[in-house]
Amino acid sequence: MIAVLILLFIWESLHPFYAYFSGSFKERGRHAFRNLFIGAINGLMVGLIFVGLWFAASVWADESRFGMMHWLQDGFGLPAWSHAIGAILLLDFWTYTWHRMNHKIPFFWRFHSVHHSDSKMDVTTASRFHLGEIFFSSLFRIPLIILLGIYLWELVFYEILMFAVVQFHHANLGLPEKYDRIMRIVIVTPNMHRVHHSRWQPETDSNYSSLFSFWDRVARTFRLNPKPETIKLGLDQFDNEEDQTVKGIFQTPLKKQD
């Protein structure tokens, strides 16, 4: 994912949609460092605590033939490729559901607001999640792997694919609307996700999809803004510079949220 990050970072530098960092590479570097540092801490925690637990859950489900995809495969003789496709779709539906829960349940929103408090969204914002949100997300993956009957390689493949798209739709790209429109038939795009990062709550509470865009259409949470350049990103209560420091970001869940 580092290669995708570098490619998108260069692309958005050459053709930015918003002129946040015009003439200030130092400010952009500081912004990127904060977000990527937080992302690195999250990755370290996941690697040390959860990857082994995910593997154990996957092995147990496989050996016990427990979980939805195993039952479908054994009951109907489905080929391995259909198991993988089903697993990816189910994982992405869960990601949509989890994301929506983070907006609707106040306790989870306290952590998720860290991601939305970035008023200068770019490709590095894709890594900006509070350690608490990643902890709960990773913890819930354990029973999910068992209930769905997910192989670990399917989870890894989904994570790589999903995060590449997440980096893409967070990137500050000046992508022509006609291309954005075609791509968002299938995946989440920058103009679609900018709406989700709006300060206006009716827009914030829309477009929860991470990889495939059709979940929002099915659930009727899809929304577009015909003038995405007018969208104000971030959260009003976290505009102070101290809120954007690494320390301030980690303390965000403890602060007043309304």
Phi, psi of 4 (to 5 degrees): -65, -40
What is the span of the domain harbouring residue 123? 27-254
Angle between helices 131-148 and 51-64 (to 10 degrees): 10
The per-residue pLDDT for range 204-215, each reduced to its tens digit, is 999 999 999 999
In a domain, 14, yes or no: no
d(CA 62, CA 226): 47
Model confidence, pTM? 0.95
The per-residue pLDDT for range 183-231, each reduced to its tens digit, is 999 999 999 999 999 999 999 999 999 999 999 999 999 999 999 999 9
DSSP codes, 45-90: HIIIIIHHHHHHHHHHHHHHT-SHHHHHHHHHT--HHHHHHHHHHH
pLDDT > 70? residue 232: yes
In this prediction, residue 78 has a pLDDT band, given cuts at 50, 70 and 90, of: confident
In a domain, 107, yes or no: yes
CA nearest neighbour of 255 among 237, 240, 236: 237
In a domain, 1, yes or no: no
In a domain, 243, yes or no: yes
In a domain, 96, yes or no: yes
In a domain, 186, yes or no: yes
In a domain, 174, yes or no: yes
In this prediction, residue 258 has a pLDDT band, given cuts at 50, 70 and 90, of: low
In a domain, 18, yes or no: no
Lowest mean pLDDT among 124-133, 185-194, 197-206, 239-248: 239-248
In this prediction, residue 156 has a pLDDT band, given cuts at 50, 70 and 90, of: very high
Confidence at residue 169, expressed as pLDDT on a 0 to 100 scale: 98
Count of domains for the chain: 1
